[in-house]
Structure 1
């Protein structure tokens, strides 16, 4: 059965959806995106994703699409039309198409942004068996551009990182810059020492994760100690626990780094508890 997608104001069967070959997201990676999870037919952390989308657009001087104020309605309509119980909604905004290729930004009064949304059905998303056993990561050099706080569609190196991990028999990669872990290929990274949760502080070096913000808030409310600072890959290998967070994995334990087993090789107590809290509280607040 064909999905219904959204392109520039129209709901269309995916086979009929098109974007210009001159769209700047295609030619220049000149666009931003968000991914919102759906659990039980409701949107998780939608307000946070919308706020970050607005920030990303502002940072790149991309005008808001005309339908910006209707994005909640559009998300909900796609959930209904595609009968999504558990899954994700991908949203992308590009600077649009000026009808040719040029490095110079087109006149925003003439060229309007391109807005695309589509769904991905993921039954049992919150009950992933992977969360019960944890994942393995490798470390790779971080060679991305300097504005990782903007959620752009420049995802080639993260994609390469995931392929490096796959080739090494691992599940994902953590990126290293100046000896310190920045983040995962598509997630924020954490270690646990004793009962202290350690994660890199917000800056232009990492994505300001929406799930990250919620998880750290819940951790503090649960009287867990949180320290926002940089940590090395060697420190991570010696940690009691490690985990990642993202909109699609929620809280996911890490049990091996560069072939070094953490603890007894199974998820510890902190990450699973945070996952439980996050899912419980997020379901309550879902819209």
Structure 2
């Protein structure tokens, strides 16, 4: 069930009290969405998020109900009216013709940032045989969300890695990278939701002269990998210490550490550019 934090949310351009937030309005299929991280009152990589939102709408045959500049303005209003420094905003969009209660809504959601020690110890993940339909579209899918929630209850894991036809594609709410012989491997764009952080990591690897292979690895190949890490809006770059019943990794892998440092620097630079 959706949760709205702080005092206000915005729906169809109107600022509303959180007391008027009705979660069931946002449980139906038909919404495309983005989750945007706010750092120091500024949304990180906002251009990239809005570009992906536009792409999701196009692939879903949804006409954006308002101009992108209007969405930018409303994000700024939401941050300022709630007086929030850091957090995550959920932005949901649908066509005005769908009959859904709102065609544009945005609100602050609960955040689950990894504890600082997990970046040193790494996290445990597990495999889940599941295919996400049209992964390139970031769309609210209640059935998928419920299936993932049930799977988590059966596994003691920070994240679930989806497996389709014996290939590891992505995390249930993240992207996954593997390291082997100094190179980085991650599933190709057509098999995953191309995460904003994922794309930044690929760019970082190119600048650091770390080879990147856009290919999904087989489950049997896990044991031959030297390391793995997750990427996403909330976790940023998070080392994996274990894939349940498959392999263990050292979270202090030097390539992962270089990528973590470079990504944190990129975030800092992004914020300075916005503030500047």
TM-score (norm 2): 0.87
1:280 aligns with 2:265: yes
What is the rounded CA distance, in whole Å, between the counterparts of 1:85 and 1:120 in structure 2? 14
Checking the alignment, whether the CA contact within 8 Å between 2:13 and 2:74 is kept in structure 1 is: no
- 1:1-29 CA-to-partner distances (Å, cap 9, x unmatched) read 9421111011111112458x7x6x644x1
Note the residue ranges of structure 1 that are not aligned, 5 or more in a row: 100-110
For the 8 Å contact 1:162–1:173, the answer to whether it is kept is no
Q: 1:209 to 1:130 in 2, by over 3 A?
A: same
Alignment CA distance shift 1:263-1:26 (3 Å): closer
- The counterpart of 1:129, out of the listed 117, 133, 145, is 117
Q: Post-superposition shift, 1:260?
A: 3.6
**Correspondences of 1:1-287 after superposition (within 5 Å):** 2-18=6-22, 26-27=27-28, 29-96=29-96, 114-120=103-109, 122=111, 125=113, 128-145=116-133, 147-203=134-190, 205-264=191-250, 266-286=251-271, 287=274
Q: Partners of 1:161 and 1:17 in 2: how far apart?
A: 25
Q: CA RMSD in A?
A: 2.5
Counterpart contact for 1:63–1:113, Cα < 8 Å: no
Residue correspondences, number = 268
What runs of 5+ residues in structure 2 fail to find an aligned partner?
Answer: none
Shift of 1:250: 1.0
Q: TM-score, normalised by structure 1?
A: 0.84
SS of residue paired to 1:61: coil
